[in-house]
Amino acid sequence: MMAKATPYLSLLVALLAARPASPAPPVDFGRDVRPILSDRCFSCHGPDESNRKAGLRLDTESGAKSIRGTKTPVIPGDPANSELLHRIAPDNPARRMPPPYSDRKPLSEKEIATLRAWIEQGAKWQSHWSFNAPVRPAEPAVKNAVWVRNPVDRFILARLERENLAPSPETDKARLLRRVTFDLTGLPPTLPELDAFLADRSPDAYNKVVDRLLASPRYGERMAVDWLDAARYADTHGYQTDPAKEMWPWRDWVINAFNRNMPYNQFTVEQLAGDLLPNPTVEQKIATGFQRNHRINSETGSIAEEFHAENLVDRASTVGTVWLGLTVGCARCHDHKYDPIPTREFYSLFAFFNSVDEAGNGGSADGRGNFKPSMKLPSPELEAQVAAKDAELKIARAKLAEIDKALAAKQADWQPTALSYQPKWEILTPANLKADNGVTLKALPDGSILTGGAMPPAAIYELTASTPPGKTLRNITAFRLELIPDPTLPGGGSGRGVDGKGVVTLFEAKVGNRKVDLGRITADFKSEESELNLVVRPAEQLKRGWGLNPETNKPHYAVIETNRMLTAEKDITFRIGSEYEGAQVGRFRISVTDSEFPEVVPDEMALILRQPAAERSTKDADALTKYFVTHPVDRRTANEAVVALEGERRAAENKIPSTMVMSEMAAPRDTFVLMRGAYDKPGDKVTPAVLSFLPPMPADAPRNRLGLANWLVDPANPLTARVTVNRYWQMYFGTGLVKTAEDFGSQGEAPSHPELLDWLATEFVRTGWDVKAMQRLIVTSAAYRQSSVATSAMRERDPENRLIARGPRVRLSAEMIRDQSLSVSGLLSTKMGGVSVKPYQPEGLWEQLSAFPGRKLFERSKGEDLWRRSVYSYWKRTVPPPSLTIFDAPTREACVVRRQMSSTPLQALALLNDEMYIETSRKFAERMLKEGGTTPEERLAWAIRLATARPAADSEVKILVAGLSKRLQQYRSDNASAEKLLSAGESPRDKALDTAELAAYTTSASVILNLDEVITRQ
């Protein structure tokens, strides 16, 4: 059995095998033949013109049936002369197609027989099924009409009757309620909900439940999860350092749209082009975040054009997958091999998204981490705070302007004395001398410090200094660091190196725990190699510093200015670095000043000052003024007030949530075909256009995103409605009617129930794209309500339940598993929306992979935010939450419309040992003890019912009670263990309950939460 047609054909084979031999059934081109041709032939003989071999194409009827030289590939009714059959036959290995080098598998006997039968039966050609608009089929006649609850069932039943199969009986009410509650809200039913449903004997009891669930706000949260996968929604940008962004306003828009039952066509238009609607509302603009959710690479050095192209490919591919069910991205580098999508048309689709006012590598982010275009959310309170700061700023700026008026006169006074001026320095008295690596420090009476002891390659000296008692240091404008020669040092110099060399590599000052913000450094002398960057010194910098060679035996000083004037009520602690090997600092002294002009006048200023004022060039005069104005204390004070207020204003403004949106540039960008998909190899220019094999856009439709969005939801579009209802079907049955939910093209799988798919698609459009109505239709069908119990014979015949002869049995999604345990434990918060939350996860996950060792990155949420629904969990793309990814949640790096479903030991470990599940087990156990009755039997049966909705069997209770008693005994003799177990999680524990008993019930609660049935909808 060969690749492409396998699932369908094998099913067919399986079903056939179960019956006595019958004549070959009529061959259906679309279902049986095209998949074979597509998979084995199209890559060389298909739509991709530039790679087509021998000029032969088999994806069109004329290509297959036209004579070529003396031979014709397909002659209807004449298999003997159809060249195609000769070329695929195994009898001539050298000529056999597909050739061995093509990586395509040869055709099996079965497939050859299918092609032969097709030709014998007249070689009827059809275009690919999904490319023709669905025509609403008549509802088929069925024998067992009493089973039918709605039209869906007619299609399912007709097929079953054709296969001589009967549907399964309806599942019991309890299981049905659990199934539908999960399916529509992502949560299990509560016990009151269960009791109410069981008590309701009215014929429409179930329909009432469905209406209740569809009206629940939990419905929108459940529906949003799948849409968030498709939209590759996350809370970080996703490349390299994976910086944070803010898109939760868009996520909340989605939840809200589902809850308001926004029609799917409107849902589409607003997300792709809300900004282009007339007078768009804030909400409509937020919706356009859909196409800003993709990853953005802001890695230093990344080339903007390269990632702009990647982002557009992502957008075009996502539209292809989500609305069209087409793998359009394949046409990025070459014409699509299977579907009629030339490269040129791919770039025409890509062109719709090319004129957003954005930078390919993000550019600079707003205060919330968002790249432009972004939009602030209306936030009256925060906006008022910003306005208040603006008012304050106005006053502060006016004050500064006032001072500036008097500056010219002040400067004139200063200029003549500038070069001769000597600031007054206050020498600090050192105390608490400390040095590392064996260096000793000694205070001398003049306030200086002499070093001694070991001579390590690097040392840091620490000291605390205070001024003479009773004097507070105010308005410190600078520190002075003197290097003082000493007769005890080599060569009578100021350092301990050869010839008295000493190099300072670091100068740091702290008041209390706060580092003093230090700025300009000047010195009266420095060696040629010196680098006066003693303050800002990233870890990576070479250890250079301030040295005095060749004047090591003369006193010199450096002045380190404060960026903001400092008033130190406490002592100041200094760290002086001497990390230049063989050049230890020998004797030094620290002073402070409040002088307005503390520094050594820089050479370039000295030069200007020496010129007579009248002879200065304008440029020099400006430079001098610019230099001067940073000095006067009153101006500094006023300026610092402005700077501080600006900072406060920014902080207030940065609290206003923002979200990334779409907006068009005034002049659209040109779009070019990118040769082989490379951003730097532009080819022909293209303009926005839709795929030409699909119905055209109306002539008067705008060639922009709005035109595209309207075209996608035009009822004439054969794909959108089919693709969408198929995803809904997949939500309930685990597998879509088209299994390849992401690919409705030539390589996708043919639908198991083509008529049903078309009926649903046309019904969806007919009801005005009513999303809730479509969910109601599916979950109220008899097909959905079947029991999922299956005999081994039936499982053998249809292991994947493609015939729907039984109800769905599907493992819960990652989010449902987590949310269920929160729900049964009573911890679940129903708070909706807002900033994403960070529930429990193992320590160090973000930190291990981060660029910044030692920096704490993950801050766990507190209280209620630990127990929110999983749709609100913070999604860091490069390190997504493991409790969700272990259960197959995708990484949200790219669009996904069909999740994996795996079963692994890591899932067992997570469910058994994750702190969150221990906590929910404890709270579940508390409920068992308080609400579940008085005996272990009652309590455990109560718990089984809460977790599965059905009553517990005696055999189950027996097993649970035996396990509970065993562990209870152990905890009774080891209370410390019980205490430890019960300490997991932040939620308070009910201290009134017996410790050992609660611990034992906690283990049993964990057992129940780990059962296959509990993590499954069955």
Residues 919-978 close enough to bind another protein by CB under 8 A:
953, 955-956, 959-960, 963, 966-967, 970, 977-978
Nearer to another protein, 72 or 788 (CB): 788
Measured in whole angstroms, how far is the alpha carbon of residue 107 from the centre of its chain?
Answer: 43
Q: ω before 20 within 30° of 0 (cis)?
A: no
* Integer Cα distance of 97 and 106 in angstroms: 7
Nearer to another protein, 770 or 914 (CB): 914
Region 73-112 residues binding another protein, contact defined as CB under 8 A: 103
1006 touches another protein (CB under 8 A): yes
528 touches another protein (CB under 8 A): no
Region 330-349 residues binding another protein, contact defined as CB under 8 A: 330, 337-338
Q: How far is the CB of 821 from another protein (least distance, A)?
A: 14
Handedness of CA 716, 722, 723, 725 (dihedral sign): positive
Nearer to another protein, 140 or 882 (CB): 882
Please choose, out of 89-97, 239-247, 516-524, 700-708, the segment that lies near another protein by the rule CB under 8 A.
239-247
Q: How far is the CB of 817 from another protein (least distance, A)?
A: 13
* Integer Cα distance of 546 and 752 in angstroms: 79
Size of the site for another protein (CB under 8 A): 116
| Contact residue for another protein among 246, 270, 599, 743 (CB under 8 A) | 743
Q: Please tell me the chain's helix, strand, coil percentages from 3-state DSSP, rounded to the nearest 5.
A: 45, 10, 45
Asked whether the beta carbons of 415 and 613 are under 8 A apart, the reply is: yes
Please choose, out of 60-68, 620-628, 817-825, 844-852, the segment that lies near another protein by the rule CB under 8 A.
844-852
Phi-psi region of 508 (alpha: psi -120 to 50; beta: other; left: phi over 0): beta
Region 310-329 residues binding another protein, contact defined as CB under 8 A: 310, 321, 327
860 touches another protein (CB under 8 A): no
> x-or-dash pattern for another protein, window 868-907, by CB under 8 A?
---------xxxx-x--xx-x--x-xx-----x-xxxxxx
Q: How far is the CB of 672 from another protein (least distance, A)?
A: 18
Q: 641: buried, middle or exposed (CB in 10 Å: 19+, 13-18, 0-12)?
A: middle
* Integer Cα distance of 259 and 224 in angstroms: 10
Region 355-384 residues binding another protein, contact defined as CB under 8 A: 361
Please choose, out of 116-124, 364-372, 643-651, 1001-1009, the segment that lies near another protein by the rule CB under 8 A.
1001-1009
Nearer to another protein, 45 or 811 (CB): 811
* Integer Cα distance of 34 and 40 in angstroms: 10
| Contact residue for another protein among 188, 189, 748, 754 (CB under 8 A) | 748
> x-or-dash pattern for another protein, window 614-653, by CB under 8 A?
----------------------------------------
309 touches another protein (CB under 8 A): no
Task: At 979, list the tokens.
Answer: 């205490």
Q: How far is the CB of 234 from another protein (least distance, A)?
A: 12
Long-range contact set of residues 530-534: C-beta below 8 Å, sequence gap at least 24: 530/503, 532/558, 534/504, 534/505, 534/506, 534/507, 534/558, 534/560, 534/577
> What strands lie across the sheet with 572-578, from one edge to the other?
429-435, 459-466, 572-578, 506-511, 514-515
15 touches another protein (CB under 8 A): no
* Integer Cα distance of 934 and 752 in angstroms: 51
32 touches another protein (CB under 8 A): no
Region 766-825 residues binding another protein, contact defined as CB under 8 A: 788-793, 795-796, 799-800, 809, 811
Handedness of CA 942, 948, 949, 952 (dihedral sign): negative
Nearer to another protein, 561 or 743 (CB): 743
- Nearest of 124, 106, 138, 158 to residue 2 by alpha carbon: 106
Q: Which amino acid is at 1004?
A: S
End-to-end CA distance of the chain: 31
Q: Following DSSP, what letter does each residue of 462-519 receive, concatenated?
A: EEEEEPSTT--EEEEEEEEEEE---TTSGGG-SBSSGGG---B-EEEEEETTEEP-EE
Residue 559 vs residues 70, 478, 777, 806: alpha-carbon distances, Å:
96, 6, 80, 85
849 touches another protein (CB under 8 A): yes
Q: How far is the CB of 906 from another protein (least distance, A)?
A: 7
| Contact residue for another protein among 74, 224, 982, 998 (CB under 8 A) | 982
Any bridge partners for residue 507, and if so which?
576
> x-or-dash pattern for another protein, window 663-692, by CB under 8 A?
-----------------x------------
| Contact residue for another protein among 302, 464, 533, 637 (CB under 8 A) | 302
Q: How far is the CB of 867 from another protein (least distance, A)?
A: 18
12 touches another protein (CB under 8 A): no
Q: How far is the CB of 968 from another protein (least distance, A)?
A: 11
Q: How far is the CB of 241 from another protein (least distance, A)?
A: 6
Q: How far is the CB of 499 from another protein (least distance, A)?
A: 22
Please choose, out of 117-125, 407-415, 743-751, 927-935, the segment that lies near another protein by the rule CB under 8 A.
743-751
Q: Which amino acid is at 236?
A: T
Asked whether the beta carbons of 242 and 216 are under 8 A apart, the reply is: no
Nearer to another protein, 774 or 982 (CB): 982
| Contact residue for another protein among 842, 856, 931, 935 (CB under 8 A) | 842
Residue 160 vs residues 147, 778, 782: alpha-carbon distances, Å:
12, 18, 13
Asked whether the beta carbons of 126 and 99 are under 8 A apart, the reply is: no
Nearer to another protein, 569 or 1012 (CB): 1012
242 touches another protein (CB under 8 A): yes
999 touches another protein (CB under 8 A): yes
Please choose, out of 274-282, 606-614, 858-866, 981-989, the segment that lies near another protein by the rule CB under 8 A.
981-989
* Integer Cα distance of 724 and 757 in angstroms: 10
Please choose, out of 202-210, 264-272, 911-919, 928-936, the segment that lies near another protein by the rule CB under 8 A.
911-919
Please choose, out of 298-306, 403-411, 631-639, 652-660, the segment that lies near another protein by the rule CB under 8 A.
298-306
Indicate the length of the chain as a whole number. 1018
540 touches another protein (CB under 8 A): yes
Q: How far is the CB of 430 from another protein (least distance, A)?
A: 33
Which residues have C-beta within 8 Å of that of residue 280, sequence separation ≥ 6? 274
* Integer Cα distance of 116 and 82 in angstroms: 9
Any bridge partners for residue 441, and if so which?
451
The alpha carbons of the chain give a radius of gyration, in whole angstroms, of 38
| Contact residue for another protein among 26, 378, 844, 951 (CB under 8 A) | 844
The strand pair at 459-466 and 572-578 is best described as: antiparallel
* Integer Cα distance of 361 and 309 in angstroms: 10
6 touches another protein (CB under 8 A): yes
> x-or-dash pattern for another protein, window 183-222, by CB under 8 A?
----------------------------------------
| Contact residue for another protein among 651, 913, 931, 951 (CB under 8 A) | 913
Q: How far is the CB of 30 from another protein (least distance, A)?
A: 15
Please choose, out of 123-131, 300-308, 507-515, 770-778, the segment that lies near another protein by the rule CB under 8 A.
300-308
| Contact residue for another protein among 1, 141, 388, 607 (CB under 8 A) | 1
* Integer Cα distance of 486 and 555 in angstroms: 10
Nearer to another protein, 627 or 693 (CB): 693
Residue 968 vs residues 263, 597, 972, 993: alpha-carbon distances, Å:
55, 79, 6, 14
